[in-house]
Structure 1
Amino acid sequence: MRRFFIAVMMLAVVASAQVIQAIRFDGLLHLSPDVAKEITGLHTGEPIDIEKVDEAIRKLYAQGYFKDIWVTEERGVLTFHFKEKPVISQIVISGYGENKKDELLSAIGLKKGDIYDERKIEKAEALIRSQIESEGYFDTVVETETTPLENGSVKVEFKVNKGENIIIEKLNLCGAKHLDKDDIEKVMANREHDFMGWMWGFNNGKVKIDQLKYEAPRIRDLYMRHGYLDCKVDNPLLRVDFDNYKAILDFKITEGPIYKVKAVKIELAQKVIDPVILRDELRLKPGEVFDIETLRHDMEHIKTKLADMGYAYVRVVPDFSKDEKDHTTVVKYRVYPGDKVYIRDVIISGNTRTLDRVIRREIFLAPGDLYSLTDMKDSKAALMRTGYFENVVIDERRVNEHEMDLVVNVKEAQTGNIMVGGGYGSYDGFIFNASVNDRNVFGSGLAVGLSTDLSRHRTNFNFNITNPRIWDSDYSAGFNIYHNEFENYDYTEKRFGGSVTLGKQIARYWHLSGMYQYYSTRISNMDPNFPDYEFYANNDFVTSAGTLSARFNNTDDFYLPRHGMIFSASAMYAGLGGDAEYNKNYFTFMIFQGLEDYINYDLILRYKARLGFFGNDRKLPVSAKFYMGGVRTVRGYESGSIGGFYETSDGYIYRTGGEYTFSNSVEASIPLLEAAKMRLAFFLDYGMIGDDSFDEYTRAGTGAAIEWFSPMGPIQLIFAYPLMEESGDRTSNFEFTMGQRF
């Protein structure tokens, strides 16, 4: 700045009555000379005006790229000299958890390539302190060290001293009489320290300063779910002993009486629907205890009902008048529908690979259509179910009172890979995998895969190609060819064959398909004591079969659903020529429920069930029967190791499979390392199988699984423990899967 004033004084002396002959720029990197000249507002041929030059310097400095600017003049030539701010090429955060650095860098809004700016650095320091204090650390100190590098850029290091945790030793809820302390604590972020609070599932008692201001509204909201409309909760009082960093958190609560609903009314500003229809579908009924959560649900129901009729900008305003004498309330919904809205255009954004038409065919709204909120939500879910996208956001851009544009912003996921890898299974030993596959070839939606698996007991080669929407229609087609060799516990099976599948989307969530498969099987190395040995021994037998399937899927994501259900049913008939003749029926059911909206924590509950049985078994190969064990049925046991058993006179046990089977699983999935896209799931499996009934053999397993969205695709590492184990069972404590839904 000293040079700036010297330059201005010199310019003032020599520039009187001078005319600008030329304007030049020295040391300019981040702006082009044309842009810089436009910013100055100066032009050749006009008189040199010190005030205008001064204003030009201020405008250029305001761009934020420059550390210093000064001007020199020689024979009418104005030269602007620049000393630019350095570029940040390295950002380091020391003294903070390694697994949280990426999350923290994203939060502070600083990245490599940014211009070094002291104001941004100060803001970043404040954000780091705020983030760490929100985790319960007080007296946090953040210091910044800037190191110039040889290439002219700088390294910025934030040195963090997290200070000390303040622990809530006692939570006092003064005046809370009718709701349990445990129930109130469940809605709070700041909770009393539990014994062994360091263990998962217990309260560690750490103070979360940023959440304190929300605690009183949370408690009052809980009371209003139980009818306490007069409930008052004062702001919290946190008493801290800084000698030992322990605290007492106090809340003063005035509960008041419980109110019941006297009547429910709906007032429509425009009579676009009979209010009686709306009122009959509401959950909050006269005579019931008032519940603010139910009221919110009913508001959303009214909004959705009218939004599905085209009223995109409908407003629902709740009101309830209290009668403090008899403790009742009249709930009134004032509804302002507005005008009907039509879709003017659907704009696709963010797709660098997937073709627009592949995205549009999953969207249930098109230009000219009447707006529907349900159609918009279903469109997002349908796009996520394809597995092509990591995230989908549909923005509504209001054009006028009667029109809107839908902007579909997608973030594409990795759908294809060339992978060479390996793993380990308790039965197969070390496994070598090599595959080339893509679920979205050239962004067309076409799925192609070529893979091989080699292990101690298995050699598989497989090629498949599927088009889920032929010519963007509701029809699908697939082709598969394979050659497998598997050393079972009691024999070796070689199979070569293929299949052709045709299907059709018959409704938004329903898909029907028909498949024809033809394969030849040869079983060898079978002991002569094996049941029906003569049928299998060294004979090739052919299976020619047709399968009809129906599938329902309304989940909201392909790999990690949080909401929705999947149901499938298939009936296979083998006997369309060939040697085998049997009827095989199989049903699956899966339901997913995320609880983040209810408990403010990303917990996902899952239930999965599988049911299978044969209608007839005239010529039923042992390899076609049902077997349990492994990742798809009961974990904790080797894959396919549980089924019917045949014991010879010398005590050897053969596994002969079963004609009836049922297995189900309960799972709970929680975040583990969010920055690494890693989750932890706990599971309990139970299954049964038999030849004459479902429950001849029953087994169970439990354990935990790491669910990881790795750069190679979804990977699941399973650690299992068998329950109900019996003598002769083949158990397995570790398995893994790749590319499958969690």
Structure 2
Amino acid sequence: MKNVQILLMTLLALYTFSPAQDLSRKIVRKIWVQGDRNVNKGLVTANFSLKSGLPFSEKDVQESFRSLYSLGLFADLSLGAEEVGSDSIDLIIHIKEHPILDHIEFSGNDEFDNKDIEEKINLMSGTVIPPNLIQKAKNQILEMYQEKGYLLVGVETRTYESKEGGKTILEFKINEGKKIKIKTITITGVTAFKEKTVKGAMEDTKEDRWWRSGDYNEDKLYGDLKRIEEFYHNEGFLDARVLKHELSYSDDRKNMFINIDLFEGSRFFVGNLVVSGNELFDDNVILKSCTVKRGDLFSKQQFDLSRYNIESLYREEGYLYVQLNDEKAYRNDTIDVTFRLKEGLPAYINKVIVNGNIKTWDKVVRREVHLRPGDIYRQSMMMLSQRDIMQLNYFDQATPDIRTNADKSVDLLFDVQEKESGTGQVSAGAGYSARDGIVFNTGLSMPNFAISRPFIEGGGQKIDLQLEYGRYAKRYDLGFTEPYFMDSPTLIGFRGYYSWRDWYYNDVEEKRKGLEIRLGRRLKWPDIYFKVYSTYNISYREYAYYDGTLLENKYYASQGITVRNSGYESALSVQLSRNSTDLPDFPTTGSVVEYNPVIAGYLLGGQYEYIRHRLEARLYLPTFWNFVLIQGMKFGHLSGTNIGQYDNFLAGGVNYEGIIRGYSDRTFGALVEKGNHVGFNLVVYSTELRYPIMDRRLYHSIFADFGNTFSSPSDIDFRELKVGIGTGIKIQVPMLGLIGFDVAWGLNDYPESYDTHGNPFTHQQSTGEKPPYFQFHFRIGNL
């Protein structure tokens, strides 16, 4: 149509000045452009085929107008001509430009702010805005509102010239109307179930009630119609389908009524299951992996899972190219299934390729991969490799994939995304706690360090330097760890330290200095999640009053233990751990179990002699949505003849040894009851429900902690566990690590001291304050 208009306008223009003359014999002398405001004249003439000195051609005029319109800059074009002498003409191109956007104005929008709408329509200042682009933006705004249930929304557009000449202001006037609510959902054709049960399959489309919103969204409705069909298919109604759905409205257009017409069909059951073509596994092994059994309802979901399980059996043995076909034979309401297999040959690993590791060396990633070139591919080893790469805590993502080759071998691909904030942490600042007061600190932690290239990250080694200085606490700590000594899964490390702490505010102080050597190894038995570490520590420590006078040794006759004021300690500890969690921070599944016995003195020498046991376990269970239920427990037992002032178990608050939030730090474990120290046995249990606000960055949780300390195993009474409940947030902060804030309430009164007869003097008796007790807790580090 546009081409016809161009031709007509061209012929009309020619006819007006020379109706009887053949213009093809005229020579074009000059070409003029009129009506330009923002478009350069040179752009017009450059896209006009006729040039000065050439004979006039109607065909060239048509092609030129097509070229100019294709630029998208012009609303209208026309051509005029003036005779110059007997054999020449001047051509005048009249142009009408599309408007150029200055800015956009909105009115009437309450549901969305201007920024949200601008991001949706994506019209920038300086953009040419032809009518079709304005209409597209209008439709996008309508879609935004309709998705939110504003089906009666209206949008009007208006353009007018801005104060800046040559540009246009585009205005969208929005009439949101009332948000339509779903009043009722009616499903016809339901006979096998209650209508309420079928409605329950709809996740996003609900009737309006006081406790939930009945908003309408077309895309979500179609998704829920699909879920209704899936519900029936999984209940054996394989032919069930939604025939149609209809929407109607109340007279005032405020309420919507949805009617769904459903066909159920017949219900089917599983009949005989037969396998053919299998050589690697016998029939029983394959059928055992199937989740559908003879006589069960024929659930499409379970049938698909059975197919997946059969294919997984073969993938685990390297048969990536296995072909599985199923043949169904119907006998009334029974379906017999034959699984036909073409096993093929196993796939061997050709290469292991790592992509995306800018800082981390290839070998640091590759050594976490449990498959090597020449190995038969195994699916479980592939997924375990992904998990172990993520456990390095250097990456935000590690995505595994396979690439097949012409010879049927495969390349393993691991696309990693390094943490944007980096893996190292450099800190300097100050902190405060009720126990230590203000503490100034500076530190350097590089968990992806390379001692051979100290100024370049990526070697997988770890170095830690911590300096703390405060009125009540000082600490100097230097450590180094090589997790893959001599390119084997053997860990070696050392740590030297000095610490001073005033425990009771200018009354008793503790000094420690020592050296620690560590040796560890990944194990393959009982399974690949096990590790064992051994640490030898030699140190000197003393406990004294502020004037330098050493504390007197305390002897607890009934327990046969002396609490020493100073001396050398020679201790050996072993840590056996099993960690099957999916992530190093904020795990969502898996478990951690650690057993840590420590022996000091005896054959090792030194002046302290004791044996200390600690058993800890945490279980992470994914529940609904993205919620994770965390169950934790810790048991501790101390025995011996000579221990230090604070070798006993201390619990309460966010003290690492025994976390019982809702109470002050170290509330439990420091007292003496009837001549017996109560801190020799520890029992702590916690339950926590956590969900992400920002995945792997910010989490909120509610929790309950239970715990106490006891003088002997026979005194352990679970009825005496103190309870704290509360809520908190945990956040991963670049360069600082994990930070936690908790508010909690301790629900039980607790002893603050005992008299000589062993009678407790409680916190309530001392302060008059009754439980629950409020506490705010702040932590940095492993939470």
Q: What is the letter of the counterpart of residue 523 of structure 1?
A: Y
Q: What is the letter of the counterpart of residue 309 of structure 1?
A: E
Counterparts in 2 of 1:624 and 1:236: CA distance versus 1, 3 Å: farther
SS state of the match for residue 411, structure 1?
strand
Output the CA distance in 2 between the equivalents of 1:579 and 1:255. 81
Q: Is the 8 A contact 1:689 1:695 kept in 2?
A: no
Give 1:187 shift.
5.6
Partner of 1:604: 628
**2:499 counterpart of 1:484:** yes
Q: Is the 8 A contact 2:691 2:701 kept in 1?
A: yes
**2:687 counterpart of 1:666:** yes
Give 1:385 shift.
0.9
More moved, 536-545 vs 573-582: 536-545
Output the CA distance in 1 between the equivalents of 2:412 and 2:308. 21
Q: 1:682 aligns with which of 685, 702, 727?
A: 702
Counterparts in 2 of 1:445 and 1:159: CA distance versus 1, 3 Å: farther
Q: Is the 8 A contact 2:247 2:258 kept in 1?
A: yes
User: What do you get for the CA RMSD once the two structures are aligned?
Assistant: 5.0
Output the CA distance in 1 between the equivalents of 2:245 and 2:369. 48
Counterparts in 2 of 1:538 and 1:502: CA distance versus 1, 3 Å: closer
Partner of 1:735: 777
Q: Is the 8 A contact 1:93 1:101 kept in 2?
A: no
Partner of 1:501: 518
Q: 1:515 aligns with which of 528, 532, 535?
A: 535
More moved, 519-528 vs 349-358: 519-528
Output the CA distance in 2 between the equivalents of 1:420 and 1:91. 47
**2:625 counterpart of 1:586:** no
Q: How does 1:101-112 map to 2 (within 5 A)?
A: none
Counterparts in 2 of 1:709 and 1:725: CA distance versus 1, 3 Å: same
Q: Is the 8 A contact 1:426 1:734 kept in 2?
A: no
Q: 2:283 aligns with which of 266, 275, 292?
A: 275
Q: How does 1:385-464 map to 2 (within 5 A)?
A: 385-400=391-406, 402-413=408-419, 414-422=422-430, 425=433, 427-428=435-436, 432-441=440-449, 442-453=457-468, 457-464=472-479
SS state of the match for residue 721, structure 2?
strand
Give 1:520 shift.
2.4
Output the CA distance in 1 between the equivalents of 2:705 and 2:535. 30
5+ residue gaps, structure 1: 17-49, 66-87, 198-202, 649-653
Partner of 2:81: none
Partner of 1:218: 227
**2:723 counterpart of 1:700:** yes
Partner of 2:358: 352
Give 1:143 shift.
8.8
Give 1:352 shift.
1.2
Q: Is the 8 A contact 2:705 2:725 kept in 1?
A: yes
Q: What is the letter of the counterpart of residue 7 of structure 1?
A: A
Q: 1:560 aligns with which of 573, 581, 586?
A: 586
SS state of the match for residue 206, structure 2?
coil
Q: Is the 8 A contact 1:493 1:521 kept in 2?
A: yes
Counterparts in 2 of 1:723 and 1:129: CA distance versus 1, 3 Å: farther
Q: What is the letter of the counterpart of residue 182 of structure 2?
A: I
Q: What is the letter of the counterpart of residue 369 of structure 1?
A: D
Partner of 1:630: 653
Give 1:440 shift.
1.1
SS state of the match for residue 273, structure 1?
coil
SS state of the match for residue 231, structure 2?
helix
SS state of the match for residue 671, structure 2?
strand
Q: 2:644 aligns with which of 612, 621, 633?
A: 621
More moved, 328-337 vs 504-513: 328-337
Matched residues, percent identical?
24
SS state of the match for residue 396, structure 1?
strand
Output the CA distance in 2 between the equivalents of 1:328 and 1:686. 54
Counterparts in 2 of 1:249 and 1:643: CA distance versus 1, 3 Å: farther
Output the CA distance in 2 between the equivalents of 1:212 and 1:471. 60
More moved, 638-647 vs 163-172: 163-172
Output the CA distance in 2 between the equivalents of 1:338 and 1:145. 68
Q: What is the letter of the counterpart of residue 743 of structure 2?
A: F
Deviations 1:138-172 (A, max 9, x none): 53869999999x9xxx9999999987644334444
Output the CA distance in 1 between the equivalents of 2:104 and 2:499. 51
Deviations 1:335-387 (A, max 9, x none): 44444322322222111111111111111223333222222111111111110
Deviations 1:215-248 (A, max 9, x none): 1222332344444445444555444448474434
Give 1:572 shift.
1.2
Q: What is the letter of the counterpart of residue 611 of structure 1?
A: F
Output the CA distance in 2 between the equivalents of 1:126 and 1:704. 45
5+ residue gaps, structure 2: 1-38, 74-100, 450-456, 751-761, 765-770
Counterparts in 2 of 1:210 and 1:92: CA distance versus 1, 3 Å: farther
Give 1:684 shift.
2.2
Give 1:402 shift.
0.1
SS state of the match for residue 624, structure 1?
coil
Q: What is the letter of the counterpart of residue 346 of structure 1?
A: V
Q: What is the letter of the counterpart of residue 386 of structure 2?
A: K
Give 1:565 shift.
2.0
Q: What is the letter of the counterpart of residue 288 of structure 2?
A: D
Q: 2:182 aligns with which of 147, 163, 168?
A: 168
Q: Is the 8 A contact 1:104 1:128 kept in 2?
A: no
Output the CA distance in 2 between the equivalents of 1:258 and 1:93. 55
SS state of the match for residue 282, structure 1?
coil
**2:42 counterpart of 1:7:** no
Output the CA distance in 1 between the equivalents of 2:126 and 2:592. 46
Q: What is the letter of the counterpart of residue 412 of structure 2?
A: L
Counterparts in 2 of 1:447 and 1:230: CA distance versus 1, 3 Å: same
More moved, 136-145 vs 705-714: 136-145
Deviations 1:599-642 (A, max 9, x none): 5x32222222222223x322233411222223452222223222
More moved, 563-572 vs 352-361: 563-572
More moved, 515-524 vs 353-362: 515-524
Quick check: which has more Rg, 1 or 2? 2
Output the CA distance in 2 between the equivalents of 1:344 and 1:606. 41
Output the CA distance in 2 between the equivalents of 1:646 and 1:92. 75
Output the CA distance in 2 between the equivalents of 1:591 and 1:510. 16
Partner of 1:642: 668
Q: 2:570 aligns with which of 544, 549, 566?
A: 544
Output the CA distance in 1 between the equivalents of 2:248 and 2:431. 54
Output the CA distance in 1 between the equivalents of 2:703 and 2:161. 50
Counterparts in 2 of 1:228 and 1:629: CA distance versus 1, 3 Å: farther
Output the CA distance in 2 between the equivalents of 1:141 and 1:131. 12
Q: Is the 8 A contact 1:565 1:590 kept in 2?
A: yes
Q: Is the 8 A contact 1:509 1:552 kept in 2?
A: yes
Deviations 1:89-143 (A, max 9, x none): x9999979999989996xx797999999999999888777656654555538699
Output the CA distance in 2 between the equivalents of 1:146 and 1:419. 56
Q: How does 1:332-351 map to 2 (within 5 A)?
A: 332-351=338-357
Q: What is the letter of the counterpart of residue 671 of structure 1?
A: P
Deviations 1:381-401 (A, max 9, x none): 111111000011123223336
Output the CA distance in 2 between the equivalents of 1:98 and 1:309. 54
